[in-house]
Chains A and B, each alone.
Chain A
Amino acid sequence: MSDASYTGQGHGAGVAGLDGAYAKSGEARPSDYIALLKPRVMSLVVFTGLVGMALAPGSLHPTLAATALLCIAIGAGASGAINMWYDADIDAVMTRTQKRPIPQGRVTREEALGFGSVLAIGSVLVMGLAVNWVAAAILALTIGFYVFIYTMWLKRRTPQNIVIGGAAGAFPPMIGWAAISGDLSLLPVLLFAIIFMWTPPHFWALALFRSDDYARAGVPMLPVVAGERETRRQILIYSLLLVPLTLSPYALDLAGPLYGLGTALLGAFFLVLAFRIWRGRDDRAPKHMFAYSILYLFLLFALLLAERGLGWGA
């Protein structure tokens, strides 16, 4: 199946009555608005942003540092809410997302858009006024990239959607770094590159065991468009690129031996899982990779944080 077969699919198509028949204003609980912020995604974003802040040279008043972290969290959540507004039709047909507040009819699409937009603008303004405008600009870029480049442009058009769109999830360490130092240097760029390169194997592992879901929703994820075999091969290629990249902060003397050793071990297991997926003999391998990839990224950044806390960093 080619990309072109998806290109014409309009947003909002396929779910009759999404705007009015069963979604009405006034049904939402506060927890529904929290769900719009995609709190699980937010937690990894906040953590990587926190590590960026911890590694950056310089200091910031604790209140302002907490404000910066809050702005990163709210900005990420706002992107999620706007994404749910735009992708309500997709969410309604995918098993993984059917329980979200808009498909369930507890929040209207307009409410989600308004909620997300106010939070997006507010988080950027507060970041700029309270912390600095470099961090605010990168936060605005992150939100804009996720909403306009990934959600509106790439997601429904190309199997490279999460490759390019992955940049949106990779910006938080740079925002955190810029919040403290007011500028950028090599280490935050490397952290960006690591998350960027981590995203394809992470999402393609998910797509391998959710490909029916994506196909039904008309999202041209790689397994749907190019097949499982090619996806497994691409997961291996990106994993082989990712692991040396994760070692680069140590190789360039930007991280210490704890990070170097820990990353080598974690990366070795990542590659073992990638090879298991590539061989294609174990149906559980993609699920294992998906679960491990989250832990892997968390632990990589935790190692950097631990080194900084112990004063062992380079």
Chain B
Amino acid sequence: MAGRDEDKRRRARNIALALALGGLVVLFYLITLARMGGGGQ
């Protein structure tokens, strides 16, 4: 049972990491669009 619980935690961590990395990709894409469009100072 301990192994299954550990698997579930690992899976949750992997999903969270994937979401964070995906979020970073989207963020950098949006930042690039904003900077290229002259949105910076």
Contacts and interface: CB of A to CB of B under 8 A. Distances in A.
Q: Do A and B come from one complex?
A: yes
Interface of A: 26-30, 33, 58, 60-61, 63-64, 67, 70, 126, 130-132, 182
A67 B27 contact: yes
Interface residues of B, number: 17
Given A26-B9, A61-B34, A63-B34, A182 B41 contact: yes
A60 B6 CA distance: 45
B13 A64 contact: no
26 contacts: A27-B6, A28-B13, A29-B9, A29-B12, A29-B13, A30-B16, A58-B41, A60-B39, A60-B41, A61-B37, A61-B39, A61-B40, A63-B30, A63-B31, A63-B33, A63-B34, A64-B39, A64-B40, A67-B27, A67-B31, A70-B27, A130-B31, A130-B35, A132-B40, A132-B41, A182-B41
Contacts of A61: 34, 37, 39-40
The B interface, classified by DSSP as helix, strand, loop or mixed, is helix
- Which 9 residue pairs are nearest across A and B when measured between Cβ atoms? A61-B39, A30-B16, A61-B34, A63-B34, A130-B31, A63-B30, A64-B34, A182-B41, A30-B12
Contacts of B39: 60-61, 63-64
Nearest to B39: A61
Contacts of A130: 31, 35, 40
A27 B31 contact: no
A189 to B, nearest CB: 21
Contacts of A64: 31, 34-35, 39-40
Contacts of A26: 6, 9-10
A27 B33 contact: no
Contacts of A70: 27
A99 B41 CA distance: 44
A57 to B, nearest CB: 12
B16 A33 contact: yes
A58 B31 CA distance: 19
